[in-house]
Structures are given as structure tokens and as C-alpha cells.
Amino acid sequence: MNSPSANDEAEVDQKPDDERTKERKERVIHARIPPGLEEDLKKLADALRMPVSNLIRNILHDTVSAVDRVGQTVEELVDGVSGHVGKEAGDLRRKWARYEAQRGRPAPEAPRPTTKDPLAAVFGFQPIVLNVAAKCAVCGKELARGARANLGLTDRPGRRVFVCDACVPASNE
């Protein structure tokens, strides 16, 4: 059972000719997974009322299309995938809660929404005078055109981060 060479194996399933024609483009992938994961997949498949093989195929398909959809940079890739996975996880949690409820078990507590730090990627602030209306990324205060504000500097392309004077972190010294 434990061949020393492979942790995962892929092979083409042997099928009679007529079935093979029908599933010409499908391949069977055999993958070793730990017993706990198999158990979870079975429970999940049961909860979603679909065969385990369909569930796995959907997960693989969703993951690959999520990767396909997102952009060039690694940050964008990671953001895209985690956003996608987060949404899927929310859907699954609701379905799972329904499944548990049907069996008279209390629904698992939903995890607290992760509040994203708006300054997570910012390494510094550049004081500026705004030429556009903006909002403070931390407190949400409206910043009018002509007002003083601070541009959050990041290494990432993407949305600009403006911060009002009050929300610029102060040194403790």
C-alpha cells in the first residue's frame, strides 16, 4: 500500500469501450488523503447531498477557475482566491448549519468576521492636499477637495489609501 515513490498517483481508469467513448475527456485521479479528510469530505458531500466525487470535482474546478480569473500579481492572486474561498466557505457554513439543525444538533458558531486592517499594506504616510474628495480609510471621515490628508504608501498596485491627520499612527516617544 505504501509505495515509497509516490504520495499521489494519477492513472487513467480502465473502462469498457462504450463507456470510454462517453467519458473520453475525463480522467480518474487517485490521490492519497488522510482518513480525517476523507471523513470530512464524506460528511460535507452528505450535507450538500452530492456524491463525494462530484464534490471533489467541484472543489477542484472552483479552485482552478478562481486562479484563472485573477490578475497578474501574487497579491492579487492571493486576494482573489481568498475572497472566493471566503464566499464559498460562507455558503458551505450555512448549508452545514442547516444539516446540523436537521439532525437536532446546534449549529456551529460562525467565526467572527475578520475585520481587515485598512493599513495592513501601508508602510508610510505622505502628507498631501487632496485634489479629489476622499474618505479616511480608518475612521471613514469625509475629506473634501482641498483638505489636508495623508496618502498611505504601499508596494501594491490598486486602491489608494487616504487617512485623516487624526488617524495617522503617533509615536509613543
Shortest Å distance, C-beta 138 to Zn ion: 5
Min dist CB 30 to Zn ion, Å, is 55
Q: Which is nearer to Zn ion, 27 or 116 (CB)?
A: 116
Q: Nearest approach, Cβ of 135 to Zn ion (angstroms)?
A: 9
Choice between 157 and 169, CB closer to Zn ion:
169
Report, in angstroms and rounded to the nearest whole number, the Rg of the chain calculated over CA atoms.
Answer: 25
Residue 151 CB, nearest approach to Zn ion (Å) = 13
Which CB, 99 or 162, lies closer to Zn ion?
Answer: 162
Strand residues in the chain grouped as ranges (E) = 8-10, 29-31, 122-129, 134-135, 142-143, 148-154, 161-163
Considering the complex, state which of residue 66 and residue 138 has its C-beta at the smaller distance from Zn ion: 138
Q: Which residues of this chain interact with Zn ion, rule CB under 5 A?
A: 136, 138-139, 141, 164, 167
- The Cα–Cα gap between 26 and 22 comes to 9
* 153 neighbors 122 (Cβ within 8 angstroms): yes
Q: Closest by alpha carbon to 80, among 68, 90, 89, 91?
A: 68
Residue 158 and residue 152 in contact, taking contact as beta carbons nearer than 8 Å: no
